[in-house]
Amino acid sequence: MAGKNVLTITEENFEQEVINSEVPVLLDFWATWCAPCRMIAPTIESISDELTGKIKVGKVNVDEQPNLASAFRVMSIPTVTLTRGKTLLMQSIGVKPKEALKREIEAKI
């Protein structure tokens, strides 16, 4: 379900892809059964394309990666976070228009 610039983030690659990333990482916490998650997916992929080189984008399936969801205190999905190393820069819950979400991200990078 990930686009060409969107990584699948798991506990196995989290440290390498997120903690050790040279650029901020946008994480989309989602699940296959979540209709709003499917609605925001094209927005996440579009932002990934537009901000290539400025951020890295990854998707975290909360059903497959419950420990990551718990670590980010994800209570409802979709939840989108932006991190740099171990620092949480922003968190957005629910579906938002692309431009609104992109503005939030650009204000933090």
Residues classed as catalytic? 34, 37
Q: Are 71 and 88 in contact (CB under 8 A)?
A: no
- Helices marked H in the chain — which ranges? 14, 35-50, 66-71, 98-106
- Tell me the longest C-alpha to C-alpha distance in the chain: 32
